[in-house]
A and B are shown apart, each in its own frame.
Chain A
Amino acid sequence: MHRAVPQGDQTAEVSLERLHYGKLASGATLSVPAAAGYGVTLRSHNLQASDDRLLSPPRLMALRRFEPDLVDPAARRRGAFLARVSPEPDSRRAIFLRARFRPEDGEDGHGRLYQQSAVWSVAASDWRRHPAALLAMAGSELEALPDLASEAECVRFSAAPARYVVRMLDPQDVWGALEDALDKSHWAAPTLEFLARGAETGEDATLTYGADDFASEAAFLRAVGLALQFLPASYPRWREICVVSGLRHESQGLCLRYLPSLRAAARTSVAA
C-alpha cells in the first residue's frame, strides 16, 4: 500500500475496488481445469456480493449479452476496454472494465472460448477529478486475467482494494498540452467539438477513432484523458461520458471510442 506523500507536486490517493468474472485457471498457459465453472472469482472486501449484478460486464457495456464478435479483432488478446460512471441512477462510482474471450485450453489454445473480465470501481468524484491519470493507469494495468485455482477462496474474496497515488495536474499544464495538440494533431479539435455539441444537444452520440488516428489504445486514452481533464467542473453531461476501446457496440450517452482495426474514411459521429 502506497501513502500519499506530496513531493513538490500535489498528489492524491485513489482507492480501487476490484471484481473478476470468469473461470479459474491453472498451469503455465492458464488453462481452465475441468471442474472450474463461471463465477465471480475475485471480489475486494469492500464490495458486496449484491454488487455483482451492478458490475456485470454486459450491464456496464449496455448490452444484453457480451459476445466474441463485439470485440474488435485487433483487441482480441487484451480485450475491450470501457470507462464510465456506473449506469445506476445517482451512482457514486465510476467503473473501468476490461473484458475478453479466451480459450479454455490456455492462452494460445484452440478450444472453446469463455468470457473473462476484470472491473475496477472508484469513487465517481475521483474519476471526475483525475480522468487523465485514471485512464492511463487502467489502460496499462487493468487486465482480464483469470485467477488461479490454487489461490484460496478466502484470499480472493478478501483482497484489499488497490491504492494508487496520482499527481494533481495543473490546469495551466492541461491547457498547454491541449493547445499543443490542437496545433499538431487531428484529434483535439473534433473531440472538444464533440463534447461541446453533446452538452448543447443532450443527445446520445458516439465519436469513433480508428487506426489512422491513434497508433495504440494507450495513445487514444492519453488523448481522451487530456480532453476530459480539460472539461470545466460545470460540464453538464459528465456522468454520461463513456470511454471505449475495442468494442464494436455503441454505448448510450456520450461515447468516445477507439477501434484499432478501423481504417480511414470510416470514422463517423453517430447519433443513436
Chain B
Amino acid sequence: MTERLSICLIGPKKGGKSSLLASLVDCVAQSAFGYSPRLRPALQPVTESEFYAEGVEPKKADLLMVEQGDYERLRRDFAEGGVATDTLDTYEYRFRLTVNGEAPPAVVLRGPWLLEIIDSAGEIAVPPDGAEVAILNDVKAKLAKQMLDSEAIILVLPLVRLEDSGWSGNLSRLIDRLALAPEKKLKRLVVVFSQYERLFARFGPSAFTYACDPAVALHVLRKSLRAVQWLDRLRALETPNGGVSVRFTVCSAYGFVKRFQNPNIDPHQPGERRFRRAGLEGARAYNEYWRPFLTAEPFLYAALGHDSAFTFSYAQLDARMEESA
C-alpha cells in the first residue's frame, strides 16, 4: 500500500541541508549507506502531480530524457558549489521509495513510499542567536505548519563547525516548542552531523576504512554531543509520552573518492570543491570520483524506521557513556 509521508530538513544555515538532499539519490543508487546491500532500496524523484496521483506507477527509466525537475536543479547547483537556500519560501522535493530486497517483514510489507522532503533556509527555523532575522511571516508560518505535519524531522548540523554554533540557543527553543506541541505528527527525528569526511582529511587513502567503522562514528557522536545543551531537551521528545524515536548519525555529501578512498575535497581547486575530471562539464565531471557517504541514512530511517549500522539511539550512546564514566 502506498504510504505518503513528509520529512522536514531543519538546521542552521550553511549546515549542509541542501547538500544532503542533493546527494541522496546518488547515495541510494551507489548503495553508499550502512544498510545491508540486500535491502536494495530504490529512490526516484517524482513530480507534484505524480506524488498526489492515486496508483503511482514507477516511471520507465529513460536515460535520454532530460530531467528538468526541481531535484535535477538542486543536484546541479550542488555540483556547481551550492546555493544558499533563500528565505522567501520553503521548497518541497518529492520522491518514490521502494524496497526491493530483504528487509524485516515490518518494512517489506509496507510501501511503496511517497516522500515529500522539505528544504528551507536555516535562517527560518534556526536563526543565529541574538540576531533579529526578519523573515516573511507567511513563510515562517508555512514552515511551522510543515514541521507539525511531518512524520519525521532531520536535524542537520555541521560536525566540525560546531564550535561557532551561534545558534544553539535557538535550536534548544525550537526543540522545546516541538516537544510541547500537542498536535504534531512527528514519529521520528534524526540528528545528522554533516561533513564527516573532513575528520579524516589527514588519513589519506585509509580515510574511507576508518569512516566505514560504525564504532568510530559512535565515538565521534559521543564526543560531539558531550557539551551540547539541547541533548536533554531532545530526550523529552522520546520519553514514553513523547512518542518520537530519536536517532543520531553522521554523513558526508562530498564523501570519499572512488578507488582512492581519500576525502573528496580537491586541494588544488579554489574554494572547497570535490575532485573532478578535467574536460567534462557539470555534474558529469564529478561522477568518476564521487561517492557520497551515508547521506541516505537519515532519509531511510525517517521513512522506514529501520536502523542501519550507522544510526544510533540514545540507549546506544548512553551505554558507552556509562562504560567510560
Contacts and interface: CB of A to CB of B under 8 A. Distances in A.
A38 B121 CA distance: 8
Interface in A29-65: 34-35, 37-40, 49, 52-53, 56-58, 64-65
Interface string B238-270: 000000000000000000000000000000011
Given A39-B87, A109-B271, A49 B81 contact: no
A184 interface: no
Contacts of A112: 14, 81-84
Question: Number of contact residues on B: which range applies?
Answer: 20 to 34
29 contacts: A21-B88, A35-B166, A37-B87, A37-B121, A37-B127, A37-B131, A38-B13, A38-B86, A39-B134, A52-B136, A53-B138, A56-B136, A65-B89, A65-B91, A66-B86, A68-B77, A68-B83, A103-B81, A110-B81, A110-B271, A111-B271, A112-B82, A112-B84, A113-B80, A113-B82, A113-B83, A113-B84, A114-B83, A115-B84
A110 B271 CA distance: 5
B273 interface: yes
Contacts of B298: none
Contacts of A34: 14, 164
B77 A67 contact: yes
B122 interface: yes
Contacts of B13: 37-38
Residue in B14, B83, B131 with the greatest tally of chain A CB atoms within 10 Å: B83
A53 B139 CA distance: 10
A104 interface: yes
Interface of B: 13-14, 73, 76-77, 80-84, 86-89, 91, 121-123, 127-128, 131, 133-136, 138, 164, 166, 269-273
Interface residues of A, number: 31
A56 B73 CA distance: 21
Contacts of B80: 68, 113
B84 A38 contact: yes
B136 A37 contact: no
A21 B76 CA distance: 24
A23 B323 CA distance: 47
Contacts of A204: none
B18 to A, nearest CB: 9
Top-7 shortest CB links A-B: A110-B271, A114-B84, A37-B123, A112-B82, A110-B270, A38-B87, A113-B83
Contacts of B91: 65
A134 to B, nearest CB: 26
Given A110-B81, A115-B84, A39 B271 contact: no
